Structure 1
C-alpha cells in the first residue's frame, strides 16, 4: 500500500511539473517574436543560451553536481544542438517572416517529432496505425502552409519545420538521459556545454543599436532566457522522469492552444479558424500516434 501510494504521488507530481513546463514553453514563440522585433535572431539565440548557461552553471556549482559520465556527453551535445541552438535559432529566424500565431501551428508537430525520435532511439516497433496518423498530421501542417500562398513565407515555414525536428530530437534525447542524469541536470549541462561557443559570440554579435531596444524587446529576451531556456526545462524533464515520457509527454498537446491564446492577447495577432482547425487536427493525429507508439 505504501509503494502504491508513493507511485501515485510521483505520477501526480509528474503531471503537475509537466503541465508547468508546457505552460512556460507556450510563451516562447510570442516572447521570441517580441525579442526579434528589436534585435537580430542570431543575437537573441546567443543571448538566451548565454544567460541561461551562466545561470545553469551557477546552480550546478551551488549543488556541487558531479560531471556527466563520458557516455552521457554525446546525448548532451544532441540536446544542446536541438534545444539550445537549433530550435531557438531557426524559430527566431522564421519569426522574421511569420507571425508567432502562424509559427505555433508547427508546434502541433512537436509531440510527433519527439515520439518519432523516441521510437528510433528506443528501438520500439510501433503499430502501423502510428505511421498513418504521423503522415496525416504532417500533411495537415504542410497543406496549411502551402494554402497560405502569398500571405505566408515558404522560407519561414521551412525554418519552423526544421526547428521542430531538431527540438523533437533534443526532447527525446533529454528525456532518455534524464532517467540516469536527472531532470534539471540535463538541460543545465547542455547549456554549460554551449557556453564556450556562446560567450565569445555574444560580444561579436552584440548589437550597435542596443539603446533602441524597447521594453517589450527586453521582456521577450528575459522570458525566453529564464523560462523557455532554463526554468521550463527543469519542470519539463522532472515531470518526464517522474510520470513517464509517454504519459506526461502528452501534455505537449496543450502547447499550441496556450501559445495561440498568448499570441492573440499580447501581440494582438489574428488567430484564424484555419489555424485553429489545423491545430486541432494535428493534435488529434498526435494523440493517435501516442496511442499506437508502443
Structure 2
C-alpha cells in the first residue's frame, strides 16, 4: 500500500463521511417528532433501500458487472445485514425520539468499532500510537456528550440502545464491505448487497407505506437517504476503505458527529455553540495525528 493510495483513500473516505453526516438530520426530517410524526422508521429504512436497489440494478447493468463469486455471497449477506438493514432500521426508529445533536455524539463510537472490525478481518496491527489517537478521539466525543447532555441526558434509554446497536451494525457492514472491495469493484459491493436484500425490503416497504399525509420536507429527507446515504456515499466510502485500509480510513469517521451537528443547524434549526466547534477541532486534530501513525499488515508468505 503506497502513500498515494493511503492519501487518496483518506480523501474518498472523507467524501463518504460528508455524505453520511447528513444522514441523521435527514432522517429526523423524514421521521418527524413524537409531537408531529411523519414516516415510520421501518418505511424509511426499508424504503430507502428499495430506492437504492433500483439505482443499483441500473448501475450494474450499465457497467456489465459480473456476478459475485460463490465465496462472496456470505460476506455480502453480512454486509447487507449491517448497512442495509441494521444501521438504517435502528437509527430511523431512534431518530423520532432524539435530536440530531444528541444522536450525533453517539456516532463517535463508530470509528473505534470499525477499526477493531477492520483489524480483525484484514489482519492489520495498528501501532500503540494509532490506538492512543483513536481512544483520545473517542474520549473527546464522550466528554462532549457529558458536557452537553448533563446527568439526565446520560441515562440509557431505548433510543440510545438502538443507536449503539446501529453503530455496531455499521462497523460490521463497513468491515466486510471493505474486505469485499479488495477484489470486487467497490461500487458493486453496495449494489449487490442492496439487490440481494430486495426480496425482503420491497414487500416490507410496501406494507409500511405512509397512510397519512407527509410533509414535502420529509419526502426530501427520504429521497436524500435513498440516493446519497444508501447508495452514492458507499461508492466513495468502500473505495476509500479499500485504498487506504479499513483501520486507518475508519478514523475519518471521528469528524462525522460534528459534521452532522453542522448540517443540523440549517436543516433542523438546532443551535451550534463554541463548545461544539472547539471539540470538533480537537477531534479533527486526533484524526490528523492518527493517520501519521503506522498500521502494519503482516506480509503473506508465498505458497
TM-score (norm 1): 0.84
Instruction: Report the Cα offset of residue 283 of structure 1.
Output: 6.0
Residues 239 and 138 (structure 1), Cα distance of their counterparts in 2 relative to 1, 3 Å cut: closer
**Where does 1:70-219 land on structure 2 (aligned, <5 Å)?**
70-127=70-127, 148-151=150-153, 154=156, 155-209=158-212, 212-219=213-220
Asked if 1 retains the 8 angstrom alpha-carbon contact of 2:90 and 2:165, the reply is yes
Counterpart of 1:14 in structure 2 is 9
Shift of 1:191: 0.6
Give matches, 1:18-97, under 5 Å.
Answer: 18-37=13-32, 38-97=38-97
CA separation of 1:59/1:24 partners in 2, compared to 1, >3 Å: closer, same or farther?
Answer: same
**1:109, CA displacement in angstroms?**
1.7
Structure 1 residues 199-208 or 239-248, which shifts more?
Answer: 239-248
CA distance in structure 1 between the aligned counterparts of 2:238 and 2:176, rounded to whole angstroms: 11
Deviation at 1:250, TM superposition (A): 3.4
Residue 165 (structure 1) shift = 1.2
Alignment length (residue pairs): 286
Q: Deviations over 1:70-96 (max 9, x none)?
A: 111111111111111111111111212
In 1, Cα distance between the equivalents of 2:89 and 2:288? 28
C-alpha RMSD over aligned residues: 2.8
Contact 1:36–1:217 (Cα < 8 Å) also in 2:
yes
Task: Please give the alpha-carbon distance, in whole angstroms, between the structure 2 residues aligned to 1:134 and 1:13.
Answer: 21
Name stretches of at least 5 consecutive residues in structure 1 with no aligned partner.
Answer: none
Quickly say closer, same or farther: Cα 1:63–1:93, change in 2 above 3 A. Answer: same
Counterpart contact for 2:126–2:247, Cα < 8 Å: no
Aligned to 2:301: none
SS state at 2:180 partner = helix
Q: Distance in 2 between matches of 1:136 and 1:248?
A: 16
Give, in whole Å, the separation in 2 of the partners of 1:273 and 1:249.
Answer: 26
- Indicate how the Cα distance of structure 1 residues 104 and 292 shifts in structure 2: closer, same or farther if over 3 A, else same: farther
TM-score calculated relative to the size of structure 2: 0.82
Q: Secondary structure at the match of 1:148?
A: helix
Q: Distance in 2 between matches of 1:268 and 1:252?
A: 24
Cα distance change of structure 1 residues 128 and 244 upon mapping to structure 2, 3 Å threshold: closer
CA contact (8 A) 2:111 2:251 kept: yes
Q: Is the 8 A contact 1:108 1:279 kept in 2?
A: no
Task: Write 1 or 2 for the structure with the bigger share of helix.
Answer: 1
Q: d(CA) in 1 for partners of 2:50 and 2:195?
A: 9
CA contact (8 A) 2:45 2:89 kept: yes
Moved more, 83-92 or 19-28: 19-28
Name which of structure 1's ranges 240-249 and 141-150 shifts more when overlaid on structure 2: 141-150
For structure 2, list consecutive stretches of 5 or more residues without a partner in the other structure: 33-37, 297-303
Cα distance between partner residues in 2 of 1:271 and 1:152? 20
Question: Which deviates more from structure 2 when the two are superposed, residues 148-157 or residues 80-89?
Answer: 148-157
Please identify, of 17-26 and 34-43, the stretch whose mean Cα deviation from structure 2 is larger. Answer: 17-26
